[in-house]
Amino acid sequence: MTGSWRLSFDPADMQVDAIHAFLAQSYWAENIARGIVERAIAGSLCVGAFAPAGEQVGFARVVTDRATFAYLADVYVLEAHRGHGLAARMVTALHDHPELQGLRRWMLATSDAHGLYSALGWTAIEDSTPFMQRHFPDVYRGAAQ
4-42 pLDDT per residue, tens: 899 999 999 999 999 999 999 999 999 999 999 999 999
Percent with pLDDT over 90 in the chain: 90
Read off the pLDDT of residues 81-117 as tens digits, 9 standing for 90 and up.
999 999 999 999 999 999 999 999 999 999 999 999 9
How far apart (Å, rounded) are the C-alpha atoms in residues 62 and 1?
26
pLDDT for residue 1 is more than 50: no
Measured between alpha carbons, how far is 34 from 11 in angstroms, rounded to an integer? 16
Instruction: List the one residue out of 51, 45, 41, 114 whose CA is nearest residue 86.
Output: 51
When pLDDT is cut at 50, 70 and 90, the band that residue 2 belongs to is: very low
- Residue-level pLDDT at 141: 84
Q: How large is the C-alpha radius of gyration of the chain?
A: 15
Mean pLDDT within 118-141: 93
Residue ranges of domains in the chain, CATH in brackets: 2-119 (3.40.630.30)
Distance between CA atoms of 114 and 69, rounded to whole angstroms?
A: 20
Distances in Å between the alpha carbon of 133 and those of 13, 39, 106, 128, 140? 33, 21, 16, 11, 18
